[in-house]
């Protein structure tokens, strides 16, 4: 996967934990404030990291906005099979021509050892 731009939320433990991964997967990584109202217009897709398919209320609301605009959304369960998750991510990016991706995940994911497996893949 090589995107044009990956957007991460500023001051988010999850974003800090995957910033190196994001840098290796995109030409540019931009930190955005969760108060910034126009990040939706600047992105063409949404990637959500989760554990056991659990999503916070905030992430569910953002996902609904992307779904409503029919922008591609992909979820990766970090407790799932690593190789399948990575292959599906690459296929999703290629198929949907994702160039500017907002990447979200709850701060609780930082405590899950499987996040490191994904960030090193």
The residue written with tokens 């296929």 in the block is: 91
Low-confidence ranges of the chain (pLDDT < 50): none
CATH code assigned at 107:
3.40.50.450
Nearest to 16 by CA among 87, 119, 121: 119
Question: Helix/strand/coil (H, E, C) string of 35-71?
Answer: CCCCHHHHCCEEEEEEECCECCHHHHHHHHHHHHCCC
Give the three-class secondary structure for 52.
coil
pLDDT of residue 79: 92
Structural domain boundaries, residue 14: 3-119
What total number of domains does the chain contain? Answer: 1
Q: What is the pLDDT of residues 56-86, one digit of tens each?
A: 898 899 899 999 999 999 999 999 888 888 8
């Amino acid at each position: 996967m090589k995107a044009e731009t990956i957007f991460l939320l500023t001051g988010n433990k999850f974003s800090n934990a995957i910033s190196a991964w994001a840098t290796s997967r995109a030409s540019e990584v931009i930190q955005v404030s969760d108060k910034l109202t126009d990040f939706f217009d600047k992105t063409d897709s949404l990637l959500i990291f989760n554990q056991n398919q659990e999503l916070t209320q905030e992430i569910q609301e953002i996902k609904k906005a992307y779904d409503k605009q029919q922008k591609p959304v992909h979820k990766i369960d970090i407790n799932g099979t690593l190789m399948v998750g990575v292959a599906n991510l690459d296929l999703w990016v290629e198929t949907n021509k994702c160039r500017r991706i907002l990447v979200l995940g709850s701060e609780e994911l930082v405590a899950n050892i499987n996040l490191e497996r994904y960030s090193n893949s």
